[in-house]
Structure 1
């Protein structure tokens, strides 16, 4: 029986505190940030490449307007038991909306930018991110909150970010990597993959597993049925370990590329069903103009949203094993979409596991409502709402989106 080392965590809190003097009405001031160093393990192991986007900060910032809730960010970073570093990000008053990247600023939403030693490594579209490929030695890690248009968010001229210092040595622990495939239990998992063209250049990957829980907190530990992480491959070469459903693709040269995502157990074994790997691959044609555009730096953009999708999955109205009668629903969630976006913004709604939940979606444009994880597709159009119910049997956080545009409508937290 293999034993798995405990991770040492660095917790760094960067909270913006608004202080008002009892008699003076002082201006808001940012709190100081703290960081600590940890020496653990990791250089490149069986992971080949990191899908990074190294470039300099574009230097622009968006000052929060008066009355806008001030977000905060805190980060934890731990050496992965096999290789690299596992980064966890906590935010308040800030909604991560990957599908709006490279569009206009919206108060309270956006994504994050990761910097190591002052060099931009990647965008971050979720709570967890795997960092790999660092040279031995000390490194400064910084994560900043970014507007949809890639401007760093600031208050009183100070960027809203969090920092930590780590020490990279050359040790790895391949003994924790399981080489033999792991046969999945029922219900069998699957993964859907699509590519969304970014208005600023390049593509975002949207990979959504079904009957499988992403468990970054357990990465490189013992096997647990039904959970793990994903890996991203470009033209047969692994470029990233995926902990979230959205990921910014690395720059691609002009030509035809195969983009593949597979499911992995906590101990890195490839997951199989009837002996076949659980994976999905799509092909992407990159023109010379597109290759040139993505090679440049990110820039602030007020352009309209432009999503191009390579693949659709399933058909609207197809029955699923989770279907239920609307009359049996103990909870009804209503979403009104105008111009392809949810009124009031994207909400996360708590759903009791084992309950029957109904969704009522209205829209002034024709679309398909997709409940990820449950693989439910229902048509909606002006005057014809999508009204359906299902058994909430799978725990986790699931996205409900418009399949055609990729616009996020709702997040369901089933627990």
Structure 2
């Protein structure tokens, strides 16, 4: 009788040990699966971040390469010197109306049929007048807003803050480089205060248009 009881106890003990080892292996296998899954997820995230970073770098470099508005180009010494002045009035509905006064400058959009940007980087002159040609860039509070191909531009009120603001226009060649004369940028800037009855507080013209009338 004692032998049978001892054998039963051993059987029970052996069965419990096997069950313990089985569950332990299951837990280990599950932990391995979680670890592998976490490793794969981390690898995918790292690759995505690296790809996005590289794409952002390439995009920034491309923008820097294509943005020539911070580069000067000298007007030919034998070309008539361009002149630029600005005037600004409040619009009847909203915002402001900007008028460009130009002299000895051919304001126009870039020529059609240009294949590469390098073709636009040179100092081009109008064949009929001999004036240097190109377009203009509009800045409000130091931020570039748009290109300008005509003499009149409406400026939405959303571009302006309450108080003092600046409105600047530069003359640029077809490759967006800003024109210089005698090593000075051709630019006109208005300093305005939209809280005062007299809108324009100060005006700076590097090469002002002379009113002879």
TM-score by length of 2: 0.50
Q: Which has the higher strand share?
A: 1
TM-score by length of 1: 0.26
Which fold has the larger relative contact order, with Cα–Cα distance below 8 Å and residues 6 or more apart in sequence?
Answer: 2
Pair member with larger Rg: 2
Q: Which has the higher helix share?
A: 2
